[in-house]
Amino acid sequence: MKLMKFKALKLVTKRIVTVLYMKYTQFLDLQGFEDLDQNGKPTGLKLPYIITIDEASQRILAIRRNYLENDMLKNKINYFVQYKFLPGLGFYGLGLSHMIGGLSKSLYFKSLDN
């Protein structure tokens, strides 16, 4: 079964990096949690889940649904994480390329120095 990496929690102590667990997103057809049609019969459709696996022992720690409970279509929830270099005006932040005046400008001026 091919799993896609979602994110990992890492613990850093004295230059040793220990991965505590890995999270994967996967579409599964779990026994007892099948997608049912209006008549109550399993449809065979795979539903989106988030699986948490212990990296050391390879044991499954948790399986959580990745769709809203009252969603009839059971659409996957897409997560968005915004990493900002500096907070900006409004929703969007400023990146390093904004601070140095754009990558093309910085490369142009660096080539003039040579």
The predicted-structure confidence for 21-41, as pLDDT tens digits, reads as follows 777 778 888 888 888 888 989
**Same domain assignment for residues 24 and 65:** yes
**Same domain assignment for residues 60 and 26:** yes
Q: How many structural domains is the chain composed of?
A: 2
**What percent of the chain has pLDDT above 90?**
11
**Same domain assignment for residues 68 and 90:** no
The whole-chain average pLDDT of the chain stands at 75
The pLDDT score that the predictor gives to residue 112 is 59
Full domain range(s) for residue 60: 1-81
**Residue 6 — pLDDT band, cuts 50, 70, 90?**
very low
Report pTM.
Answer: 0.56
DSSP state of 8: E
**Same domain assignment for residues 87 and 73:** no
**Same domain assignment for residues 75 and 111:** no
The residues with which 13 forms a beta bridge, in sequence order, are 16
**Same domain assignment for residues 7 and 40:** yes
For Cα atoms 74, 47, 25, give the angle at the middle one, nearest 5 degrees. 110
**Same domain assignment for residues 63 and 110:** no
Q: How far apart are CA 3 and CA 1, in angstroms?
A: 6
Task: Convert the pLDDT of each residue in 84-112 to its tens digit.
Answer: 878 887 777 877 777 776 666 656 555 55
Query: What are the respective helix, strand and coil percentages of the chain, to the nearest 5?
Result: 15, 35, 50
